[in-house]
Amino acid sequence: MNISEALEIVSQTNPGMVRSHNEDSVSFDAAHGLVVLADGMGGYNAGEVASGIAVSVLTSEVKHRLDVVGPEQKDAESSDDVGVAVLRENVKKANLSIFNAAQSQPQYAGMGTTIVTGLFYDDRVAVAHVGDSRMYRLRGEVFEAITRDHSLLQEQIDSGIISKELARLSKNKNLVTRAVGIEADVVPEVHLYDVEIGDIYLLCSDGLNDMVEDEDIGATLQMLQGNLPLAATQLIEQANDNGGRDNVSVILVKVKGSYALPRGLWAKLKSWFKN
Amino acid sequence: MTAKLILSMDGVVMKEYPLTKERTTIGRKPHNDIAIDNLAVSSEHAAVITILNDSFFEDMGSTNGSVVNGTPTQKHFLQNNDVIEIGKYKLKYLNDQPTQTTSADFEKTMVLRAPVKQAKPEEGFNQTQINAGTAAPKLESTTQFNVTATKAEVPSAAPVASATQAQVAVIQILNGPNLGRELELSKNLTTLGKPGVQVAVLARRPHGYFITHVEGANFPSVNGTSVGEQPHQLKDHDIIELAGVKMEFYLKT
């Protein structure tokens, strides 16, 4: 199945109930199986600028590379799949463009952004993230985060200082330990996962998961999986009904069919003749 | 504002200690940050670790132990107004730093520029779904009419308007084999119908209850009129019809 037929993708972003402007940016490219979500930070409109740069660098550069070489090929430099390498390289590229803009223009000083991005190819998904924007997966009955925040709170949970339950009471939310555009280089965390038909992936900014419990997010997806645009609307509505303290963005990706790449001699022969 | 500990005995305030250090020690010996010269207090009795706006209390293996909010405690994540008791002495923890839900400014994401360790992949946690299967009326002899809902708990960070807390809405089935059955809409979302055939969702929101079409060729109807694709706010005693099942929506007082 062609990837744009195999995946159903919807995205929605909303400034929330308190903030006057939206510093989140979302974008997707169904033909290349790419989804990107960024949550910018910085004074005046610098947050929008940072998240906007991140999303546009990712979408244009990834497309550019994948038009030349398949994501399943091996990357010569890193020996990872091109699909993995292309996310890692372009998060770094976005980092440098934001960092340079912030250095050269005083009104952008100190701006940065979190990012979470997924590239779906060959029945898999490569996931790269920096900061506290998340990707979750609903598989059957199980709803879980597949990214781990780069935040002080997550580090405290990891080191056992604080339990996951008590973390909700912390006054140290919103302190990210990694962000795009703050320093000259950044190390994105990149993983590759197999997908299953029926999986639903959720990318969101912290405006969702700070306002709505994971359990309620999962239940909403489970109940409304038959209508993805409605599920996205309901998630944003719940965040806003609970106070909507921050911008809220969601991207939902539903795997409707297999998008495995053709394999074997016959496929190779076919693609040979196509070229 | 910095968090602080207020030392008192028998209701008399003795001293205030701002928690400015990463580690504030409490004990009998004078080198402690909070020195309490009393034999019931161990020489190095306890410590408070402060990380930015959060503080953690830890008993350092004292002879007579420590009590937090009336409970003997080894380790405790301190919250505003917690009371630590050491012997006859009380230490009240004050931290009126606004929490995330009370200050819009404070919750702006900030970058903490510190060396970062490589994160490990997250362990899974299960999401459970309540299936009110026993209250499920039959649509046909072989197919179940499923009712699913989110957990009723309202997160502490997420207060629901008082109007909806006081009034619980109920759906009563008016025909078919489950005639008379009632379903309390105590959750944020409740779905009605059969997946793949016709499903609608009932959302409880601060300003009321809404029905929205989810899937299926037909839309649900309210008082005989199809609601279409848009959310429709329900009024007391509205009659909902979905996949041949008639239901009355009403508010319980």
Q: pLDDT tens for residues A184-231?
A: 999 999 999 999 999 999 999 999 999 999 999 999 999 999 999 999
Question: Each residue of A235-263: pLDDT tens digit?
Answer: 999 999 999 999 999 999 999 999 988 77
Instruction: Provide the ipTM.
Output: 0.80
Say whether residue B71 is in contact with chain A using an 8 A CB cutoff: no
User: For residues B230 and B123, which has the higher predicted lDDT (pLDDT)?
Assistant: B230
- Shortest Cα–Cα distance, B60 to chain A (Å): 16
From the list A182, A191, A226, which residue is nearest B121 (CB)? A191
Question: Is the per-residue pLDDT at B111 higher than 80?
Answer: no
pLDDT at B127: 30
pTM for the model: 0.77
Beta-carbon pairs below 8 A across chains A and B: 183
Say whether residue B203 is in contact with chain A using an 8 A CB cutoff: yes
pLDDT-derived band at A274, boundaries 50, 70, 90? low
User: Which amino acid is located at B230 in the chain?
Assistant: Q
Average pLDDT over residues A169-178: 85
What gap in Å lies between CA A19 and CA A151, rounded to an integer?
Answer: 22
pLDDT-derived band at B1, boundaries 50, 70, 90? low
pLDDT at B70: 93
Strand partners, A24: A39
Average pLDDT over residues B210-231: 92
pLDDT at A175: 87
- Mutation for testing the B interface, residue in A223, A224, A225, A237 having most B CBs under 10 Å: A223
Question: Is the per-residue pLDDT at A79 higher than 50?
Answer: yes
Chain B contacts of A220, Cβ < 8 Å?
150, 189
Q: Are strands A34-41 and B238-242 parallel, antiparallel or unpaired?
A: unpaired
Q: B109, A113 in Cβ contact below 8 A?
A: no
pLDDT-derived band at A173, boundaries 50, 70, 90? confident
User: For residues A173 and B49, which has the higher predicted lDDT (pLDDT)?
Assistant: B49
* Cross-chain residue pair B100–A210, CB shorter than 8 Å: yes
The fraction of chain A above a pLDDT of 70, given in percent, is 96
Chain A contacts of B148, Cβ < 8 Å?
219, 222-223
* Cross-chain residue pair A215–B157, CB shorter than 8 Å: no
pLDDT at B252: 84
pLDDT-derived band at A145, boundaries 50, 70, 90? very high
The fraction of chain B above a pLDDT of 90, given in percent, is 54
Average pLDDT over residues B143-162: 39
pLDDT-derived band at B250, boundaries 50, 70, 90? very high
Chain A contacts of B116, Cβ < 8 Å?
150, 177-178, 187
What gap in Å lies between CA A198 and CA A118, rounded to an integer?
Answer: 17
**B84-103 exposure pattern, b = at least 16 Cβ within 10 A, e = fewer:** bbbbebbbbbbbebebbbee
- Mutation for testing the B interface, residue in A115, A116, A230, A241 having most B CBs under 10 Å: A241
Closest chain A residue to the Cα of B150, Cα to Cα: A219
Chain A contacts of B104, Cβ < 8 Å?
18-19, 245
